[in-house]
Structure 1
Amino acid sequence: MTYQKPILDLPVIELRRATMMDRRALEEMKEVSISTLLDPLMTPEQRREMRRITPFDPVLIEDRTYYVATVNGWIAASGGWSRRAALYGAGGSAKAPLLDPACDAAGIRAMYTHPDFARNGLGSLVLSTALAAARLAGFRRAQLLATVAGERLYRAAGWKPEERVMVGTDGRAIVPGIRMSREI
């Protein structure tokens, strides 16, 4: 038997719940993700509005329904699910009514992948984890509001488009989205 030198450059991938200690890294990763993967598909006005409707939402972390995938300790992807009625945004999600798993769909929220790790399965890993956790909480359906950049991932994961919409704040419904759902 021949001795083989161990491969030291293999990535260490970990999946865990996000904590408030992750906030700064999550915000930085989200901005890089949006600016690299989504901004090229939108107008400057849509880009500004996108940042208004996607602030950091601490309620997802407080509810313990937000996850991060790390590669060698760096956050590479994040996302989660919610038992609250808000599909996007922050501030209002803490006040949003709780969903009933017997008749409502869990919301998949705030899915981001760092561009250096896009299309390598980490977004799918976080998504499948969120879906499994929602199912364990009693939900049998999930819904989300996909961006134009995320639509391909969700379709590949079995999501069905329901409606193309324009979203925004204060009467500025200018950011395109796709309402999607699936059984879990």
Structure 2
Amino acid sequence: MPNDVPVLRVARTRELDALRALVARSWRALAARSYAPDVIEAALGVAIRVDPALVEDGTYFVAEIDGQLAACGGWSARVPTVKGADLPTPRAEVRAMFVASEHTRRGLGRALLERAERAIRDAGFDSAYLVATHSGLELYRAAGYVERGAHVAMLPGGVAFPLTLMSRSLAR
């Protein structure tokens, strides 16, 4: 009998290929309501990807259901520069949050986000930042993130990838 209860845990390096497949499947399915197909494909593997350093750092988490990866996401204090954005340094960013389309609306994204925020607080940060895709805005707004401004990343082939910079206080 299947067990629908998700298990949240730290991602393992040996799972990188499975994580990449989950991210690609999630991105293609869930971004379709927010981005054109050329943007979706241009972003995949460039801006939309699992950073292996997060897995190696132990700051990337998975939600597993019945032994299968259902969602992933994490955080890092080693964050990329966002051109033209007035963001503090150092800072902690929520990174690479993805839920398999067959597991959406079950609280997995929120659970992973809360796990990342706890880790960010435990690391001594009192705010979390993120660069949201338009398909993730609803989750982040519901979790209390506020928009700090729009950003456009230029992808290979000159494809414009609109994003939203967001932050949230983690003070207790």
TM interval, short-chain normalised? 0.7 to 0.9
Aligned to 2:153: 167
> For the structure 1 residues 104 and 116, does the alpha-carbon distance in structure 2 shift closer, same or farther, using more than 3 Å as the test?
same
What amino acid is aligned across from residue 58 of structure 1 in structure 2? P
Indicate conservation of the 8 Å contact 1:83/1:106, yes or no: yes
CA contact (8 A) 1:86 1:107 kept: no
Aligned residue number for residue 56 of structure 2: 62
Determine which structure has more spread, i.e. the larger CA radius of gyration. 1
Unaligned runs of 5+ in 2: 83-87
Uncovered stretches (5+) of structure 1, i.e. residues with no partner: 1-7, 89-99
Indicate which of 80, 89, 97 corresponds to 1:86: 80
1:122 matched to 2:108 = yes
Q: TM-score, normalised by structure 1?
A: 0.82
**8 A Cα contact 2:54 2:76, kept in partner:** yes
* RMSD of aligned alpha carbons: 2.0
Match of 2:126 in 1: 140
In 1, are the aligned partners of 2:61 and 2:72 still within 8 Å (CA)? yes
Q: In the alignment, what sits opposite 1:18?
A: 11
Deviations 1:152-172 (A, max 9, x none): 000000000111111133583
Q: 2:47 aligned with 1:53, yes or no? A: yes
Q: 1:41: Cα distance to partner?
A: 2.3
User: In 2, distance between residues paired with 1:49 and 1:9?
Assistant: 37
Say how many residue pairs are matched. 164
CA distance in 2, matches of 1:181, 1:111: 15
How far residue 173 of structure 1 moved from its aligned partner, in angstroms, is 5.7
Structure having the higher helix fraction is 2
Amino-acid identity (%): 35
- 1:87 shift after superposition: 6.9
Per-residue deviation at 1:32? Answer: 0.9
Contact between 1:166 and 1:173, CA under 8 Å: does it hold in 2?
no
